Structure 1
Amino acid sequence: MGKYGVVMNFTCMEMRDGKQSENASCSPEGLVRKVNMATKTAGTELAGENVLERYDAGTYSQVLTTSRSDSENGLSAFTYLRMNKRWFETENWKHLVDFMRNMSEGGRHTKLPKSDLSKTDLSIGFLTLKSARKTKEAALA
């Protein structure tokens, strides 16, 4: 794999061992660690994706954790599957933006600022009641 520049794309990056049924006798976190070590041994990169449709901060936190490997073979990319209109709901969107900022900046930022003074390509708008009225008036004009 490493010889040909193959990138291994693996799923379940957001899953936690503690959230699995005891009857399942499984360890998604352990499986991800094993795949990570195998890709390191093979000299190839590991990319990841989610398996579940979830939008909460805990899910994104788990992806961040799995993306920063102890084996120094962190994720080279992450694909979010099952994007739909729920992704753009206010709280879900805030969690997503925090997650993207953390992924792109190595986890140095944990909170989204009120304004983007660093001039990154990532932005989110916060509407105040006053600006929301102006926007509504502009939309009606």
Structure 2
Amino acid sequence: MRLAIEQFYFGYRAFTVQPDRILDQRGLGRIHHRILYFVGRNPQISVNALLTMLNISKQALNAPLRQLIEMKLIAMSTAEHDRRVRQLLLTSTGEKLEAQLTGTQMRQLQAVFEEAGASAQTGWHQVMHRLSMQG
């Protein structure tokens, strides 16, 4: 199990190093990437739904989200069905940054999965799914 923990740690470090460099050039961090990623995957997501998805507090989301809005990477609007609901959407600049960040990770995973083979990929997905269900 210690080997699995170490591989998980070092694998995650390798998985985040390139996006971290890109983010650092803009004065951003991993929380910004997570926000960009999940807003991009869920256009018009409400702030409350994003809080639930990321499992963070309003205080933890407030500053990085405000920064992304100020940098014009995310746009916030009110929902037509309920004016109290604030919805988030990537701007075109935000879409480009998110695609660059996530693209590096997708290419990295694709190469590793191709090397490891289909059964390894299936096993990895099963392990990660079960792990995520525990949180």
TM-score range, shorter chain: under 0.3
Given the two structures, how large is their TM-score scaled by the length of structure 2?
Answer: 0.25
Larger Rg: 1
Greater relative contact order (CA < 8 Å, ≥ 6 in sequence): 2
Return the structure number with greater helix share. Answer: 2
